[in-house]
Amino acid sequence: MAKTKTKFFCSECGYETPKWYGKCPGCGAWNSMVEELETVVKTQGMSTGIFQSKEKPLPIISIDSGTEQRVQTGIGELNRVLGGGLVPGSLILVGGDPGIGKSTLLLQTSHELAKSGLRVLYISGEESVRQTKMRAERLGALSAELYVLCESSVERIEEAIDSVKPDFLVIDSIQTVYLSEITSAPGSVSQVRECTGRFMRIAKGQGIATVLVGHVTKEGAIAGPRMLEHMVDCVLYFEGERHHTYRLLRAVKNRFGSTNEIGIFEMNESGLAEVSNPSELFLSERSAGAAGSTVVASMEGTRPMLVELQALIAATHFPAPRRMGTGVDLHRMNLIIAVLEKRMGMFLQNQDAYLNVAGGVRLDEPAVDLAIAVSIASSFRDVPTKPDDVIFGEIGLTGEVRAVSRAEQRVREAAKLGFKRVILPEKSLKGWNSPKEIKVIGVNTVAEALSAALN
């Protein structure tokens, strides 16, 4: 017999409770509890788990790991973020703002996989097959092995999977599909959780690489229960401003690769194009010889990337100066300002400080400390930096410049783009030879770095 009961779910974190609360006990969000009717069917002799296996436990050293071959998607930036390609049987969640290009990227990926001979099934719950065909024609993504279906019922989607037997499956989006045995509306917490569990069983049981498209909340997190990100193998976020042409694909969870890699795309009339050299993109609009502007060599996974840092120091009439940083850690910025005041004698207590990373990239590694210090000092003294300089290094509280990793790759990237000098930590010069076409200046303190960069 089926039994219906009322439950309340938090639309932000998925917290479940039998009574309504104004403030979620799980995440503290206000007015986020949603009432849902849940139908519970009692079964006899049936396991409720996702996987049913009769295998016995084995010692891990006796298990044959095999050689699982990754599938190349035909898009190099996507392969980089995934860790080298698609893993058969993996479940991938792609999130991003509306209109950012999630469906475009997946349709282009489906086309590339279909061209390579794989069978692809693209399930759209948001647009008809004719609308999908129109978008595919615009992108040039027409292939005989690419099957398209407009469906929201998970039961009918399973029938289509049994009929087509795809190697790659796309569900666009997970918030639009539903299970008929659950009485709540599509997109609700219980529907998203149960539908994801069903697709996970299909992916693991049949070895189908499956991609789920997820909507995001106004804060930028994927809508639905937090459990959704724990269930999948890989979580990708598609980032970028809709008013700009470039997009960033970032992995925040990846069971089969690194989470430090990013993929960079440029949106044009024919879809998303790969950006093979992101440093040129981020430096294309840089003003040469401007005070407060420096170029820093940052590492995103295994890729060196040159990005412009801009600082603006302006006098304030308020007792508490304002500190604002875009693309950098604000606490790290305040620490560097304190070091400049204490060790370099700069009086910044009556100055507003603004820092921006051009291009919308976020830099979290300590290697950008020295470039931040030089940008702030350049704007404070109103002395322009040299346009052919690249700066990187970590700053300690005593004013010393500490070594950073992969200095050789950063220097070679700067030399490839035509820069003439690199200011870096002295201790990072050991164990490698710098290119002949670029001058390398090693520094041990912030004072030495400012003297080399601003004189």
Structure confidence at residue 218 (pLDDT)? 67
Please answer whether residues 229 and 93 qualify as being in contact, where contact means their C-beta atoms are separated by less than 8 angstroms.
Answer: yes
Asked if residue 442 belongs to a known ligand binding site, the reply is no
101 is in an annotated binding site: yes
263 is in an annotated binding site: no
**How much is the pLDDT for 3?**
62
Single out the residue of 370, 395, 396 nearest to residue 453, CA to CA. Answer: 370
The annotation status of 100 as a binding-site residue, yes or no, is yes
Q: Tokens representing 430? A: 């050991």
Using DSSP bridges, classify how beta strands 246-254 and 234-239 pair: parallel, antiparallel or unpaired: antiparallel
Is 97 annotated in a binding site? The answer is yes
Q: What type of residue sits at position 415?
A: A
Contacts of 198 (CB under 8 A, 6+ apart): 154, 158, 179
Tens of each residue's pLDDT in the chain, 455 residues = 456 678 888 877 777 888 899 998 888 888 888 887 765 554 444 344 445 556 788 898 887 766 568 899 999 999 999 999 999 999 999 998 888 889 999 999 999 999 999 999 999 998 999 999 999 999 999 999 999 999 999 999 999 999 999 999 999 989 999 998 887 788 887 888 889 999 999 999 999 999 999 988 766 677 666 678 888 999 999 887 666 678 889 899 999 988 888 888 988 888 899 987 888 877 877 887 789 999 999 998 788 999 999 999 999 989 899 999 999 999 999 999 999 999 999 999 999 999 999 877 889 899 999 999 999 999 999 999 999 999 999 999 999 999 999 999 999 999 999 999 999 999 999 989 989 999 999 999 999 999 999 98
Q: Is 325 annotated as a binding residue?
A: no
Q: Quick one: tokens of 438? A: 């670029």
| Residue 447: per-residue pLDDT | 96
Query: Structure pTM?
Result: 0.77
In degrees, rounded to 5, the angle at the alpha carbon of residue 117 between the alpha carbons of residues 114 and 123 is 35
* pLDDT at res. 269: 85
Q: How far is CA 89 from the centre of its chain?
A: 22
Residues 6+ apart with CB under 8 A from 1: 42
Q: Which two tokens stand for residue 71?
A: 């599938």
